[in-house]
Amino acid sequence: MKWRLCLMTAVLLTALFLCYPAISETRRGKCGPNLNWTLDDAGTLTISGTGNMYNYSISYIGNENFLTTAPWGAAPVHVIIETGLTDIVNYAFYGCTKLTSINIPNSVITIGNQAFFDCTCLTNIILPDSITSIGDSAFGHCTSLTNIVIPDCIASIADCTFYDCSNLSSIILSDSIANIGNEAFYNCTNLTDIIFPDSITSIGESAFENCTSLTCAILPDSIIRVGKSAFDNCSNLNTIILSDSDRYIADWAFHNCLSLTSIIIPYGATDIGLATFYGCNSLTNVILSDGIINIGEWAFANCTDLTSIAIPESVTCIGNYAFYNCTTLTSITILGKDTIINDNALNGTTNTVIYCVADSKAQDYAESNSIPYVLIDPLSATKLILPANLTTIESEAFAGLNVDMIVIPVSVKSIAPDAFNGTNAVLYVAPDSCAETWAREKGLNYRTE
C-alpha cells in the first residue's frame, strides 16, 4: 500500500513540474520610495521609477571583506538606469568588481561618495550634462577606466574622485571647473595629458601625485593656489608653466619631477616652499623673477644638473639646504645686499662660487663658510648694454649668453619670444616700456631703471 502511495505522489509532482515553468532567477525589490530594481541571472540590474534612492552604507569585516546594504550587493555586471532616477547615492555600487557598463540618464543630478569605488572592471562611463555634483572617491580605484568627460555643470572635482584609476589616459575638464580636490587624480599612472581651463582657481594637495606618464602642466593665471605635493613624483613631466597669480609655490609641489629641465618662477610669486623642486635632477635652468622673497628649505635640493642660478635682489632669505647636494652648481649670483643665507643652504655644493655685492650678507656667509666669492657691482659687473637706437631683438639673439645683466633701451619695440632663452641674466628695462611688458609677461627676472 505504501509503495502505491509513493508512486502516486511522484506522478503528481512530475505533472506539476511539467505544467509550470521553471522558477525565475530574477531578484527584485524597491530601492527608493518610487524606485524599483530587478537583477536577472545574467547580472543585468535595471532600475526604474522616479526620484531618490534609499541611502546605503558599507561596513568592513577585517581588512578587505565588506558588507553593503545595497540590495543587489556586488552582483551587477551591467546596470541600466531608466529616466527618472535623480541621484546615485553613496556606496550604491561600491565594490561591484564585475560591473563592466552602466548607462546614466539625463535625470540624474548627483553621484554620491564612493558610488562606484573599486569597480575594477568598469572601462568607460558617460556622464550626462544633468549632473551637477560628483562625490568624494566616486570612481576611486576603478583601475580599468580609460577616459572620462566632466559635464559642463560640474564646478568642483571632489577629493579622491579618480584616485588610483591607473588606466585613465584621458580626462576632459569643462570650462566650469573651479576646483580640483585633494588626491583627485592620485596615482593615475597612465594619464599623459590634461588641459586646465581658465575657470580653475585651485588644485588640491597631491591632486596629480604619482601621475608618472603626465608630460605637460600649463597652469592658467586664474589659478591662485596649487596644493602641497600637487605634482609630486610626476617623473615624466618635462614642461611646467606656472600661474602668475599663485604667490606661494607649494611645498613638495614638483618633488621628483625627474624630466623637468627648465622652470620660470613668475613675476607674481613671492615664496618657494619646502622641497618644492627637490630631486628634479634634470633641472638645468631656473629663472627667478624679481619679487621672490623667500626660497624655502630644501627647495632645490638634489637638483644635480643645475650649474648656475641668479638670486634677485628681492629675496630676503634662502632656507636651510635650499641647494643641498646640487653637485654641479658652480655659480650662484646674489644681487641683494641684505639676503640672508641660512648656514646649510649650500651644503654639498663643493665647487660653488658666490657672486655677491660688497659688504653684503652674502659676502659674510661666503667668508664664514670658506666659500670662494667674487664681489660684483650690480650696475656694472658682467653687464651687456644694448645700443640706444636698437628697435628689434631677433629670435635667439642672446640665447645662452653668460652675463649677469642686460640693459635693454627704451627704443626697443619688438622682442622675439626666445630672444633670451638659456640666459639667467637680470634684464634692466625702462619703466612702462615694451621691454618691461614683455619681461613681465614672460615671467623673466627684470628690474626697472
pLDDT digits (tens, 9 = 90+) for 20-74: 333 446 899 999 999 999 999 999 999 999 999 999 999 988 777 889 999 999 9
pLDDT at position 60: 86
pLDDT at position 383: 62
The Cα angle at residue 42 between residues 91 and 127, in degrees rounded to 5: 45
The pLDDT of residue 109 is above 90: yes
Phi first, then psi: what are they for 18, rounded to 5°? -75, -30
Out of 118-127, 284-293, 377-386, 401-410, the most confident range is 118-127
The pLDDT of residue 135 is above 90: yes
pLDDT at position 169: 94
| Residue 360, CA distances (Å) to 239, 340, 367 in order | 36, 9, 11
pLDDT at position 384: 60
- Domain residue spans of the chain: 383-448
The pLDDT of residue 112 is above 70: yes
The Cα angle at residue 289 between residues 204 and 389, in degrees rounded to 5: 145
Question: Exposure pattern of 77-87 as b/e (b: 16+ CB <10 Å)?
Answer: bbbbbeebbbb
User: What are the tens digits of pLDDT across the range 65-101?
Assistant: 889 999 999 999 999 999 999 999 999 999 999 999 9
pTM of the model: 0.80
User: What are the tens digits of pLDDT across the range 163-194?
Assistant: 999 999 989 998 999 999 999 999 999 999 89
Model confidence at 387, pLDDT cuts 50, 70, 90, reads: low
Task: Say how far apart CA 283 and CA 277 lie, in whole Å.
Answer: 9
pLDDT at position 374: 76
The pLDDT of residue 19 is above 60: no
Model confidence at 385, pLDDT cuts 50, 70, 90, reads: low
Model confidence at 360, pLDDT cuts 50, 70, 90, reads: very high
Task: Say how far apart CA 113 and CA 182 lie, in whole Å.
Answer: 14
- Residues 233/345/372/292 CA torsion (nearest 10 deg): 80
The total of other beta-carbon atoms located within 10 Å of residue 8's CB is 10
The pLDDT of residue 449 is above 90: no
The pLDDT of residue 14 is above 70: no
Q: What residues form DSSP beta bridges with 241?
A: 218
Q: Half-sphere exposure of 336 toward its Cβ, with a 13 Å CA cutoff?
A: 20
Q: Which residue has the cell 654639498?
A: 348
| 66 three-state secondary structure | strand
Q: Which three cell numbers stand for residue 179?
A: 576646483
What mean pLDDT do residues 94-122 have?
Answer: 96
Model confidence at 286, pLDDT cuts 50, 70, 90, reads: very high
DSSP string of 247-300, one letter each residue: -EE-TTTTTT-TT--EEEE-TT--EE-TTTTTT-TT--EEEEPTT--EE-TTTT
